[in-house]
Structure 1
Amino acid sequence: MNWRDYWNQDTPIYTSERHKLLHYRLIANDIIGLIPSPEAVVLDYGCGEALFADKVAAKCRQLYLSDAAPLVRERLNERFQDNGRITILSTDNVTDLADASLDLIVVNSLVQYLSLDEFRALLKLMHEKLKADGTLVLGDVLPPDLSPLTDAKALISFAWQGGFLRSAVSGLARTAFSEYRRIREEVGLAQYSEEEILDLLEDAGFEPRRSERNLGHNQARMTFVARPAQARDTDDFAER
């Protein structure tokens, strides 16, 4: 089994429904803070279940939700089929979007599941689809020194604040013996230093920088903001 197959099923990665709801609400709020204007066209690439995508769509003109997993897309279509601002795409169909048509692209918690060649190809595609003054945001990038224990501590802190501590503790125990753990050991997760991500973005034609904070709850991971090289990025999403 590879990572794409793993995500095309119900997984134990969320320790409870409350955990899932709070996670997606936090990500949605972070994305809303990145939207440059009510007329913006936004792509959430590798969006997952995107439970609060309707809240994001209300802040922009068009929201594309793209995911590689057919099961995820089926659920997205069921949830948002009546929302005219939301379009569901497979990741393969993103190539059909017009070049230079997107104001904002968010790729959150996906880079770790890609090979280096896949990552380079993705950056090339994102550069093609962004407007000259558009913004690419890579969120939840794993640094080389990040340990599972650090991730666990971040989850416990999030659970304490969010009121799902008991399920988080039991969920961590389940994950230790889960398919996720096995695949992580067999396939691995891609980890990059800040310098490596900046170099890859520059090679793809972007002017990048690391954001002051990561998307989501885990501040041991990294977020990068990049614009096509001819444009200048002046605002940090943490300051919006």
Structure 2
Amino acid sequence: MMDDWIDYYDSTHTIYVSKLHRDVHFRQIAEDIAGYIPSPDATVLDYSCGEALSAGRVADACGRLILAEPAPGVRGRLIARFAPNVKIRVRSLDDLRNMEENSLDLAVMNSVAQYMTPQELDTALTVVGRLLKPGGQLVLGDILQPDVGMAQDVIALLRFALAHGFLADALWGLARTALSDYRELRSKIGLRRYSEAEMIGKLTAAGFAASRAAQNIGHNPSRMTFVARKPG
């Protein structure tokens, strides 16, 4: 399941309706992630980070930022974009398996779980759990709920667009998306959804003490964010 989505995001896709949409999307995510950083010298992992255009904002708030990205084309752009920033390092997901145990203060997986099978997510949680220091946190954001459909996503996008001045582009982009590879792929393999209780149970089974955050990361309030602490 995840491989299909990796291929999609590594292609020339139209998930963002405009450059402004893309820029404010990544800026808000970066600001939300920065709010979870526990100290200025913290080591932070952004797992499956995507283009991470505003990662510099996150790096400004921590000591070291690791951007882990599975799509090779995206990873190459990240390396080129952030090469001058000595705080940022770009890695593949496979590289994480060779990282030092108990080396992270914070890990973030935002808008990732919906593209994974439950087994893929369990594997990722195991990898992250090994890397986190005792007492370190995993923030799992943008979790889709079973009873929340595409209509809520559309409403959230339009409100976000209205607030940031790209409403006309959003309306045109929604029409374009209805005929796009994204809509076809979403219909074909779907997106994984979890109830609050299911996600708490999954995180607990992975060894974390977890709770739902008051607000979701990003612009969509109908989705959920969870904060999971490694014991110790």
**Given the two structures, how large is their TM-score scaled by the length of structure 1?**
0.94
Map of 1:82-161 to 2, 5 A cutoff?
82-161=84-163
Q: Classify the secondary structure of the residue corresponding to 1:153.
A: helix
Structure 1: state its 5+ residue gaps. Answer: 232-240
**What are the Cα deviations for residues 33-73 of structure 1, in whole angstroms up to 9, with x where unaligned?**
11100110000001111111111111111100011111111
Q: Classify the secondary structure of the residue corresponding to 1:103.
A: strand
CA RMSD, Structure 1 to Structure 2 (Å): 0.9
| Distance in structure 2 (CA, Å) of the matches to 1:122 and 1:141 | 15
Q: Classify the secondary structure of the residue corresponding to 1:96.
A: coil
Q: Match for 2:158: what amino acid? A: I
Query: How many angstroms does 1:197 deviate by?
Result: 0.2
**What are the Cα deviations for residues 12-50 of structure 1, in whole angstroms up to 9, with x where unaligned?**
110000000000000010111111001100000011111
User: In the alignment, what sits opposite 1:181?
Assistant: 183
User: In the alignment, what sits opposite 1:22?
Assistant: 24
Q: Match for 2:48: what amino acid? A: G
Query: How many angstroms does 1:133 deviate by?
Result: 1.2
Residue 198 of structure 1, aligned match among 197, 200, 222? 200
User: In the alignment, what sits opposite 2:11?
Assistant: 9
Query: How many angstroms does 1:95 deviate by?
Result: 1.1
| Distance in structure 1 (CA, Å) of the matches to 2:53 and 2:4 | 24
Q: Match for 1:186: what amino acid? A: K
Query: How many angstroms does 1:78 deviate by?
Result: 1.1
**What are the Cα deviations for residues 152-202 of structure 1, in whole angstroms up to 9, with x where unaligned?**
000000000000000000001111110011111111110000000000000
| Distance in structure 2 (CA, Å) of the matches to 1:164 and 1:155 | 10
Q: Match for 1:33: what amino acid? A: G
Structure 2: state its 5+ residue gaps. Answer: none
| Distance in structure 1 (CA, Å) of the matches to 2:54 and 2:92 | 19
Q: Classify the secondary structure of the residue corresponding to 2:97.
A: helix
Work out the number of aligned pairs and report it. Answer: 230
Q: Match for 2:80: what amino acid? A: E
Map of 1:44-59 to 2, 5 A cutoff?
44-59=46-61
Identity of aligned residues (%): 47
Q: Match for 2:203: what amino acid? A: L
**What are the Cα deviations for residues 133-160 of structure 1, in whole angstroms up to 9, with x where unaligned?**
1100000000001111110000000000
Query: How many angstroms does 1:86 deviate by?
Result: 0.3
User: In the alignment, what sits opposite 1:235?
Assistant: none
Q: Match for 2:79: what amino acid? A: N
**Given the two structures, how large is their TM-score scaled by the length of structure 2?**
0.97
Query: How many angstroms does 1:10 deviate by?
Result: 2.0
| Distance in structure 1 (CA, Å) of the matches to 2:62 and 2:221 | 27
| Distance in structure 2 (CA, Å) of the matches to 1:89 and 1:48 | 12
- Deviation above 3 Å: which 4+ runs of structure 1? none
| Distance in structure 1 (CA, Å) of the matches to 2:5 and 2:218 | 21
